Amino acid sequence: MNYPAEKNKSTSQDSLILKKVEAAMLLDAYGALLTERQRQCLSLFYEEDLSLSEIGEAFAISRQAVHDAIRHGEAQLHEYEAALHLVAKENQRQQIIHQLQQLIGDQQEAVKLLQQLL
């Protein structure tokens, strides 16, 4: 039996995972446009799963400074995506390729050509 608290916990964990995946994709696409400190803080937070305190210790800065760098970096990444749509377009391409692969089925040569697009 699923209790409401268990469902909420599962939903919040799913939401956290989706946020981390989105942040990693945005960081891959636009990370070079951030400041070095923002990029490092975001990478350590999302990709290495370090806490704000651990990141602060690594850079000899306060937990609040790490939080600010992450918050401002995330805002920049979302602004870049809103203007350029690189991540959204890549996701759309991946969906189309997957659909084409399903339609093509066993036609190996066509599947190999589609793989080259990746």
The full set of domain ranges for the chain reads 1-84, 85-118
1-84 maps to which CATH number? 1.10.10.10
Query: With pLDDT > 90 as the criterion, what percentage of the chain qualifies?
Result: 64
pLDDT in tens, 26-38: 999 999 999 999 9
The Cα–Cα gap between 78 and 34 comes to 12
Q: Is pLDDT above 80 for 104?
A: no
CA angle 85, 87, 89 (to 5 degrees): 65
pLDDT in tens, 73-87: 999 999 999 999 999
The answer to whether 24 touches 81, Cβ cutoff 8 Å, is no
Q: What is the pLDDT of residue 8?
A: 61
Residue 19: Cβ within 10 Å count: 12
Q: Is pLDDT above 60 for 112?
A: yes
Phi, psi of 51 (to 5 degrees): -80, 165
pLDDT in tens, 14-25: 888 999 999 999
